[in-house]
Structure 1
Amino acid sequence: MSTDTGAATRDTPPALAWSVENCSLGRTMAILGERWTVVVLREVFLGVRRFADIQRHTAIPRQVLTARLATLVEQGILHRVPYRDDGARTRHEYRLTERGLELQPILIAITAWGDRHLADQAGPPREFVHRDCGAPVHVELRCTEDHRVDDRAVAGRPGPGARRASG
């Protein structure tokens, strides 16, 4: 049941009364919504941080990888850290920022969905576990009153930044 308050008729969803021009989800997907961006983030989360290693492990075309890394750095999700192997020129590896680390629950949730619906018969190719105890981790919805929230028990409503749709 929606709690979205706006001008709506019986056949019109209330959400249509509100503009999506400043939608946080839309803005996020403008950064993350391309396949290779999420693949790059997966690699960095798993400790693959150097350009050549990311490219070799994923087969991302060089130009695409360069562009995706530049975007993630520009958006403050990754930062470049210089390193130099003996006798070689200085290069950079890519590390998650605090802002980037906040994406981990999203990537784990997407992976869990894929594990449920797209994994091979043998099961998921990777598990995420708590470093301290080794138990599997999962993402769950909780309200600010600390209730576990079922997927169907979530409603949308205009927030403080909501703007009425024009026309």
Structure 2
Amino acid sequence: MASPRSTRPATEHACSIHRSLDLLGEKWSLLIIRNALRGQSRFSEFRDELGIPSDVLTARLGTLVEAGVLERRSYREEGARERFSYHLTERGRSLKLVLIALQQWSDEYNPFPGGVVSVVQEVGTGRHASLALVSDDGDLLDEAAVEIARGPAARTW
């Protein structure tokens, strides 16, 4: 009888962090998502703002569309050929939390000498916002009191 591990595709990992990195672990993917959260949607906007090579951008956009993070929509400007824009799906918009966590970490432990480049703030009021760990009951938790423990599907491989 085959073990559960041998029946899964070789690229599928049980660890959710590993699976996330398989999709998002390449820096360009996260930078494309960041810029999409800032309102960019066109290939040329991503290419010009990020300085990413066109072939790499094409590959990253394809991966993000296939994963359901971005949605591809056609458009045509007058006198031009059909082109595509890329828009965040609900799945893509939810990555805002991941990017804010990375930003908070870098601002604390790897700051840019010229100062903070992006701020996290409430829309409309400009009030500073940050991520925090909260229990299921809504209590604010101390980071030192939280661990990443093995879950019910964890196995020793």
Asked if 1:90 is matched to 2:82, the reply is yes
Among 19, 26, 36, the alignment partner of 2:18 is 26
- Could you tell me which amino acid in structure 2 is paired with residue 165 of structure 1? T
- SS class of match (1:135): coil
CA positional deviation for 1:21? 4.0
CA positional deviation for 1:47? 1.0
Among 126, 134, 144, the alignment partner of 1:142 is 134
How many angstroms apart in 2 are the aligned matches of 1:156 and 1:48? 35
On the 8 A contact 2:68/2:92 being kept in 1, the answer is yes
Asked if 1:42 is matched to 2:31, the reply is no
How many angstroms apart in 2 are the aligned matches of 1:77 and 1:61? 21
Asked if 1:54 is matched to 2:46, the reply is yes
Displacement over 4 Å in runs of 4+: none
How many angstroms apart in 2 are the aligned matches of 1:92 and 1:40? 15
Change (3 A) 1:113 1:155: closer
Asked if 1:157 is matched to 2:149, the reply is yes
TM-score, length-scaled by structure 2: 0.86
Question: Which runs of 5 or more structure 1 residues have no equivalent in the other structure?
Answer: 1-19
The match for 1:123 is: 115
The match for 1:73 is: 65
- Could you tell me which amino acid in structure 2 is paired with residue 91 of structure 1? R
CA positional deviation for 1:72? 0.4
Question: Which runs of 5 or more structure 2 residues have no equivalent in the other structure?
Answer: 1-11
Asked if 1:113 is matched to 2:66, the reply is no
How many angstroms apart in 1 are the aligned matches of 2:60 and 2:28? 7
- SS class of match (1:81): strand
**More RCO (CA 8 Å, sep 6+):** 1
CA positional deviation for 1:75? 0.3
The number of residues matched between the two structures is 146
How many angstroms apart in 1 are the aligned matches of 2:68 and 2:82? 22
Structure with larger Rg: 1
CA positional deviation for 1:122? 3.7
- Could you tell me which amino acid in structure 2 is paired with residue 119 of structure 1? P
Root-mean-square deviation over aligned CA pairs: 1.7
Q: Quick one: percent identity of the two aligned structures?
A: 37
